[in-house]
Chain A
Amino acid sequence: MPADKTLDLDLDAIAAESRQVAATVKPDSGPWDVIVVGSGAAGGMAAFQLATAGINVLVLDAGRLINHRKEYRTMEWPYASPRRSRLPPDYRAITAAEYNFFDRPYGNHPELAKYKKVASYAGNAFTRNWVVNEKEHPTTGTPYAWVRARVLGGKTNFWGRVALRYGPLEFKAASRDGFDVDWPIGYEDVAPYYDKVDLLLGVSGTREGLAQIPDGIYQRPIKLNCVEVHFKRTIARMGRRYIPGRCGVTTEGVLNNKYRARCLGRGRCGRGCDINAAFHSPNALILPARDTGNLTLRPYSVVSEVILDPATGRAAGVRVIDANTRQVMDFKARVVVLGAGTLDSTRILLNSRSARHPNGLGNSSGLLGCYLSEHHMGPRASGFIPMRMGTEPTLDDGRPTGPYLPRFRNITDKHPDFIRGYHFQGGGGAQEYPGFAHDIPGFGRAFKSSVRKHYPALIGIGGFGEVLPRKENRVSLDATVKDAWGIPVLRFDYRFSDNEIKMARDMADTAEEMLKAAGAQDIKVEREMLPPGWSIHEIGTARMGDDPKTSVTTPFCRLHDVPNVYLADAAPFVSGGTQNTTWSILAMCWRTMDHLKEEMRAGDV
């Protein structure tokens, strides 16, 4: 008889399979043309592009394989567990207040040290087997909520699915306001690749013709529910838009992939979509790449550094520490592609020290690790729309995303307090769990009927704002602290500047203003910024440029200093606007791989 079904996932079997697969892939099992580090959005897309082009690829992931049938618990009710989707007692997720209050490494703090596993804030009943244990993966320096997942597919197993394009406002931001530099490429360079990603993976949305958020090639859009239609009509009078969310979920199916089905409107995609309508790298990219016969996958492979061939000055391969056996092995290939995530790819390069590259590989500019950027979050507002108060609830949350409120600051006007801008996400209606009930005072019949009266009427929006790319916001290797595999950890030196703080104030003000305009009742406004890193949209620590003195990679994401090392993730991004990052990682990676394929064909690498 199965016990707590929410815990009974038989992970021993998938772990054993992963160990067995890892044991069969040895340094002499090749040869491989390209080593790809990581298997999420970046590594997955890199592997898919290369393998389908007939190139032999070795994908190294630090975590185990994943069994999506068991691990994506999409439709599980909270009462399936007597713990009601709460974490087991030996497991703890760090909370917002603790990130800023506790010293680093977080796992050492007495309040957290007593737990067996301490996860980032993203650790919950559904993600807890994917996100890393902070005790094994510490960080030092300033507070930073660094969310990492070590499992096949990485964070794409539970990503937020918001699929947006950067546009001319991002690529040429410096030309508009004079801050920092433009990207060395333009929207026209990347647009064809956004199109390709849209068609390969499927994206839902509507064409709106907005300058601040370019349109894609969309499948059936996700409709607004009643309170959202009211909100949309209200803010339209203020010249603002509230449009169907753009999400990386196929609502009409994709004909190119037998591992995915179209969206069935269950919601709950952040637990992993068990029919893979939502984009998750394992089924969307890794399995099709494997089916070409050109992909070798080695799980449990922790990459510590890129190995340099001193004779040629080129990368010879990577050094791997087996996560279980601790055996150290060197895997060789013609080309190394890093897609471990912006910060972990940067860490690998910083740790690749040699006589020729004493400060890390690709770091002759001294800028590797600098210009860390992401999105600041926190300011938000919620309230209740009177027209739905006391009505019977409708099915409001059976969809992969809520609506989207595009940026409206510093597009045609110029805000006196800050440059760049922010957008809002969020929606309303009846959600399974009435979280607002915790803020309703009282008890008894009045309390109970108040909860159900408010239940269909809730609406709330939260902002994402650009963090200016600044050289002094950086990561470096800590001189003493190492992770569980003996690899130096990242030290953060990252703070919000005046521009972010002023922008956050405006976010809270405009959120409140719009809810008031919509006639919402019991408006609650949160003005406090969430800890750095909360957005999980980190970019910029190996920025691209034409000049090797002021940038780390070429405009094709190849290290200036080493001609056969590429970055597939967001580390080369110069600035990140307000847009969620994943879709741009996928498009940029495809572009980089097209370039790499051509270089390989021409014999340049």
Chain B
Amino acid sequence: MPIGPVVTRRTALKALATGAGAVTLLPWLSEEGLAAFAEIQQAKAPPRLLVLTSAQYQTVEALVEAIIPADERSPGAREARVADYIDLLLGEAPAFLKQRWLNGLSALDAESTSRFGSPFRPLPAAQVEALLADISRDELRKEDESQPPQVDTLLGEVRRPDPRQTPLQVFFADTKQATIHGYYTSEIGIHQELRYQGNKMLAEFVGCETVDGHDCPHCGQKAEG
């Protein structure tokens, strides 16, 4: 089997079992629904939500934009319609995961209100930063090998839960991982942000120019002496 540049097991699992993402609870999106979904994303039309309320959607937009914001190079997760992707994931997630995530969203607002007297969405940047810094602590979880593996994230990753994490930490980690996937598989993420060069017809793969006997302008390595 092929093996690419695999990173940790988390990444390896992701690469090998691209989103075991999955559910049994109907209804999930019909073909027509998916087509409409795609059109909405392309047309910058308002979302047609499966799970989230309009208010929740706006909170999710603020959260994913805080995770991957617009900057001088490219738009962020809001414009890449990552909130729509998360709504789709919720619509196709097992019931317990959906509920856990929705509870987490409420807990985010509750935490924000108790600390700053305001729900999450209108918080100024400095307070968003402070809040997310707290709940992102220890976000890359250790797995408890004695626990049975289960579908444990919106992306459908099969993992063993880490009981030491608070519900808000679990919520943040899950949302962040889904945001990464939604953003870096979008047109904005692939083409504008990463400036990925591949998936085109080539006469011949170029590679490092030292292979052809000259100094390489991309990496600075010298031609073989």
Contact = CB atoms under 8 A, between A and B. Distances in A.
Interface of A: 1-4, 7-8, 75, 77-79, 81-98, 101, 111, 114-115, 121-125, 147, 159-162, 220, 222-230, 233, 251, 264-268, 270, 377, 380, 382, 387-388, 391-399, 401-402, 425-428, 430-439, 441-445, 447-449, 451-452, 455, 458-462, 524, 526, 528, 534-536
Nearest to A111: B150
B198 interface: yes
Contact of A447 (B38, B68, B219): B68
A377 B21 CA distance: 25
B57 interface: no
A93 B158 CA distance: 10
Give the most central of A8, A79, A220, A428: most B CB within 10 Å.
A79
A251 B188 CA distance: 32
Interface stretch (B12-20, B101-109, B116-124, B163-171): B12-20
A150 B3 CA distance: 23
Contacts of A81: 34, 38
A495 B178 CA distance: 36
Q: Closest 4 interchain pairs by CB?
A: A223-B207, A86-B19, A3-B31, A265-B202
B180 A266 contact: no
Contacts of A432: 190, 196, 198-199
B5 A82 contact: no
A431 B202 contact: no
Contacts of B194: 393, 430, 434, 451-452, 455
Contacts of B156: 86-87
14 contacts: A78-B190, A86-B19, A87-B156, A162-B2, A227-B219, A229-B219, A266-B201, A393-B195, A426-B3, A431-B4, A438-B177, A443-B68, A443-B176, A448-B193
B177 to A, nearest CB: 6
B13 A95 contact: yes
Contact of B185 (A2, A123, A431, A433): A433
B68 A448 contact: yes
Contact of A97 (B14, B92, B149): B149
Interface residues of B, number: 93
Interface of B: 1-24, 28-32, 34-35, 37-38, 41, 66-69, 71, 73, 76, 84-85, 88, 92, 129, 132, 136, 139-140, 148-151, 155-156, 158-160, 176-177, 180-182, 184-187, 190, 193-208, 210-212, 216, 218-221
Contacts of B212: 223
A228 B204 contact: no
A451 B187 CA distance: 16
B204 A79 contact: no
Contact of A426 (B6, B31, B71, B160): B6
Given A82-B34, A224-B208, 14 more contacts: A84-B181, A86-B18, A89-B21, A90-B24, A96-B9, A96-B13, A97-B13, A229-B221, A266-B202, A398-B197, A427-B4, A433-B184, A443-B66, A452-B194
Contacts, number: 305
A342 B23 CA distance: 34
B36 to A, nearest CB: 9
A302 B32 CA distance: 36
B204 A265 contact: yes
A442 B136 contact: yes
B2 A398 contact: no
B136 A443 contact: yes
B29 to A, nearest CB: 8
A570 B84 CA distance: 48
Nearest to A226: B219
B198 to A, nearest CB: 5
B132 A435 contact: no
A526 B207 contact: no
B24 A89 contact: yes
A523 to B, nearest CB: 10
Nearest to A437: B180
Contacts of B92: 83, 89
Contacts of A431: 4-5, 198
Given A97-B158, A226-B218, A526-B9, A266 B200 contact: yes
